[in-house]
Amino acid sequence: MENKKKSSILLFVLFLILSVSSIAFGQLKTDFYKNTCPNVESLVRSAVRLKFQQTFVTAPATLRLFFHDCFVRGCDASMLLASPNGKAEKDHPDNLSLAGDGFDTVVKAKAAVDSDSKCRNKVSCADILALATREVVAMTGGPFYPVELGRRDGKISTLTSVQHQLPGEGFNLDQLNTMFARRGLSQTDMIALSGAHTLGFSHCNRVSKRLYNFNPKSSVDPTLNKAYVAQLKQMCPLRVDPRIAINMDPTTPNTFDNAYYKNLQQGKGLFVSDQILFTDSRSRNTVNFFASNNDAFKQAFATAMTNLGRVGVLTGNQGEIRFDCTRPN
């Protein structure tokens, strides 16, 4: 009887959480700023385009920043908050590899929005990050999708809140699905979002285990393509500087396309968590589908980004609209 009661309470709490989440993202809409800042999208686009022309890293850095922000405390721009004592989300070891260009993109886009007197302090940093992310995806050849707006910025950012909230490069399919499902994202969403690894780079210290110390039976991960192993070992020899960068997509690293999935078919996924999508039969069909149909991948990615953008959002009287993206008002 006691267990039944506990189960009922747990179910009720889960129902409340899901209800609150659905109410929150139900308040998001693509034309949220039509009266307060009607040209918000063009203001953000111009600023992001200028930044992108200065450095390509703008694209993968902004995209990764959005993902990391949404996965910790929801899409509330708390990842942008700075802490004087190094105790904010951005200071966690899992976030130290986030390139500064992503943060800079949001700061520049915020300045552009606030330069319009009608828009000043009317648009949240969380919404600016969501819009900037759509722009970098489109600028590199990915889909241009509608962005739901109306998020408020979070006031809290703690180092501890990042712990065990981001997928690891050694995750298997069950671990990936569990982590994404907790945020209301399906396996298809997860596989589509993993396709973001078609852009950007990682570092040698993230893959050296697969090359030199995989397990007691094999020093090299047997799921890796042999020619790719030789290529990676050349770029990441033993005792190399761990900060040396390697492209996530060895074929078209500067283009948002479905090459990521074609690479997985050939054993060229940089992380275990990439390659598992092909080696595990439960996800292989989706990988094969995206590899054979670039349009289907882009459509699935756009849907997944919309779903990701709804995770844990603050709306209405929750949160605030930060005057400075790096600190609470």
164 is catalytic: no
- Regarding predicted confidence, which is higher, 15 or 68? 68
Q: How confident is the model at residue 25 (pLDDT cuts 50, 70, 90)?
A: low
C-alpha span between 131 and 188 (Å, rounded): 23
Asked whether the predicted pLDDT for residue 295 surpasses 50, the reply is yes
Asked whether the predicted pLDDT for residue 240 surpasses 90, the reply is no
Residue 186: alpha-carbon gap to chain centroid? 15
Q: What is the pTM of this model?
A: 0.91
Residue 168: alpha-carbon gap to chain centroid? 13
Asked whether the predicted pLDDT for residue 318 surpasses 60, the reply is yes
Q: How confident is the model at residue 26 (pLDDT cuts 50, 70, 90)?
A: low
DSSP 196: G
Give the three-state DSSP class for 120.
Answer: coil
Note whether 175 and 167 are within 8 A (CB): yes
C-alpha span between 125 and 247 (Å, rounded): 29
Asked whether the predicted pLDDT for residue 17 surpasses 50, the reply is no
> How does pLDDT run across 124-158, given as a tens digit for each residue?
999 999 999 999 999 999 999 999 999 999 999 99
C-alpha span between 326 and 321 (Å, rounded): 12
> How does pLDDT run across 151-207, given as a tens digit for each residue?
999 999 999 999 999 999 999 999 999 999 999 999 999 999 999 999 999 999 999
